[in-house]
Chains A and B, each alone.
Chain A
């Protein structure tokens, strides 16, 4: 098990009802973290439109997460 801090933004934060939580998760990749939190909060957002960052660096969904990492989950962006 790894201790992972997950941060939610915009629609994800509103859906989860919180901006951040620290969880004990049996995960390998950023995608695993997303799937765990989707199950936890009942989200059906497709991954393809979302982005992820690990410790303030943009990452791919296949990137590995380590014990103590902070994973930032970004819903579909819309700047401009």
Chain B
């Protein structure tokens, strides 16, 4: 399941989605808003998300992860809107029979989501300036 949330991510609820009697382990990644980027002090972040395509592409990424690294349950939620330092911006959880699939599928999902989904991040800096963050890896990612 992939979702976009305009309100705070509630980790406890998401973790419950991963419960499965066949799972021997769970791997969870949380992306947090940090206070610095490339030497500049960051005060807050703003995520713009084009929901229809972000959700479709996010579901596709999770399905791909399941084909490459068979898991039992997977959930990912990405935030939209204004976020403060320390807020959870993205949450990925994967439960699987064994830890190897859980780690690898979790890594695949977060890596692909960062470069493929129509999501944009604007940083607001301490000096009053702001700017859209550019992801360097995205240039090599194709869609079809």
Q: A residues within 8 Å of B by Cβ?
A: 9-11, 48-49, 51, 53, 56, 58-60, 72, 74-80
Residues of B within 8 A of A79 (CB): 47, 78, 90, 113-115, 117, 119, 121, 135
Distance A11 CA – B116 CA, assembled complex (angstroms): 17
Q: If the complex has contacts A77-B138, A79-B78, are A56 and B119 also in contact, measured as CB distance less than 8 A?
A: no
B143 and A59 contacting across the interface, CB-CB below 8 Å: yes
Instruction: State whether the Cβ of B108 lies closer than 8 Å to any Cβ in chain A.
Output: no
B122 and A10 contacting across the interface, CB-CB below 8 Å: yes
Instruction: State whether the Cβ of B139 lies closer than 8 Å to any Cβ in chain A.
Output: yes
Q: B residues within 8 Å of A by Cβ?
A: 31, 47-48, 50, 52-53, 56-57, 78, 89-90, 110, 113-122, 132-135, 138-139, 142-144
Main secondary structure of the interface of B (DSSP, over half): mixed
B143 and A80 contacting across the interface, CB-CB below 8 Å: no
The answer, among A9, A10, A11, A58, for a CB contact under 8 Å with B143, is: A58
Residues of A within 8 A of B143 (CB): 51, 58-60
B117 and A77 contacting across the interface, CB-CB below 8 Å: yes
Residues of A within 8 A of B52 (CB): 56
Distance A53 CA – B138 CA, assembled complex (angstroms): 15
Residues of B within 8 A of A75 (CB): 120, 132
B78 and A9 contacting across the interface, CB-CB below 8 Å: no
Q: If the complex has contacts A10-B122, A51-B143, are A78 and B50 also in contact, measured as CB distance less than 8 A?
A: no
